[in-house]
Structures are given as structure tokens and as C-alpha cells.
Amino acid sequence: MSVSQTTEHSSTRETLIAAQTSQEHLEQRVRDLVLQLEAKEEKLAIFEGRSAAGEGEAGRTVEEQLQVTVADLRAELRSVKEELERTQKHVKQYQAIAETEGDSLREMTATYEEYKTSTESSLAEKDVSHTQFPTICNFAS
């Protein structure tokens, strides 16, 4: 793989990862909004149950208060789980980037080593011909 192909490959890979990250962020935002909606619906169900019983705000029982607290904690737990999943995906993405860049670096190093060997060989040949040139000139005289 040539250097330009490696560079193009890396650039394309980075663009793909950026697009995937953007998509994941949007999907995460949707999941977060769904979690918020579910938490609100759970609270609403608790309040509707209380309203159906004809109790006012002051008449909220300890059980109802605990239900609201449990609903809040469930929503927070869901949110933390989603954050954990998102973080794990990012770790995998960064590992993939590191692996790709490592491969590119190895390819570039191999290309450099080939170039270095070729150049040193070429210089050695020219050095040999240069050192033999005076001998050929002296031999011809």
C-alpha cells in the first residue's frame, strides 16, 4: 500500500468514525429522551392513582412519596446504564482507531525501510563505480 493510499485510507476511516459517532450521539439522545419520557409517565401514573383516590398534594402518603423516589432512581439507573454502554462503545471505537493507526504506522515504517535499503544500495553501487572510475581512467592511459 503506498503512502497516498495509506493516507487516503486513514482519512476515510476517520470520516467513517466521525459519521458513526455522530449517529451514535443522535441515537443516544433519542434513548435519553425515551428514558425521560418513561420516567415522567411512571410518575404520572403514580400521581393519577393518587388523584383518582381524591387525595391532594398534602395528602400524599409515605408510600406514594417512596414510589416517586423509586421512579426517579429507576430513571437515573437507566440513564447510567445507557452512559456505560455509550462509554464502552467509545472505548471500542478508540481501540479500532489505534489499531488502524498502528497498522498504518507499520506499513509506513516498512515502506521507509524499503526506501532506505534501496537508497543505501544505490549509493553503495555509485560509490563502487566512483572508486573504480579513476582505476579505469588510469588503466586506459
Q: How confident is the model at residue 51 (pLDDT cuts 50, 70, 90)?
A: low
B/e letters for 17-56, b = 16+ CB within 10 Å, e = fewer, are eeeeeeeeeeeeeeeeeebeeebeebeeebeeebeeeeee
| pLDDT higher than 80, residue 139 | no
pLDDT at residue 129 in the model: 78
pLDDT at residue 39 in the model: 80
Interval 94-112: pLDDT, tens: 898 888 888 888 999 999 9
Q: How confident is the model at residue 115 (pLDDT cuts 50, 70, 90)?
A: very high
Q: Do the Cβ atoms of 71 and 42 come closer than 8 Å?
A: yes
* Rounded Cα distance, 123 and 118, in Å: 9
Q: Do the Cβ atoms of 78 and 35 come closer than 8 Å?
A: yes
Average pLDDT, integer, range 104-126? 92
Interval 55-96: pLDDT, tens: 555 566 888 788 888 888 888 898 888 889 888 988 998 898
Average pLDDT, integer, range 2-13? 75
Q: How confident is the model at residue 118 (pLDDT cuts 50, 70, 90)?
A: very high
- In this structure, which amino acid lies at residue 89? K
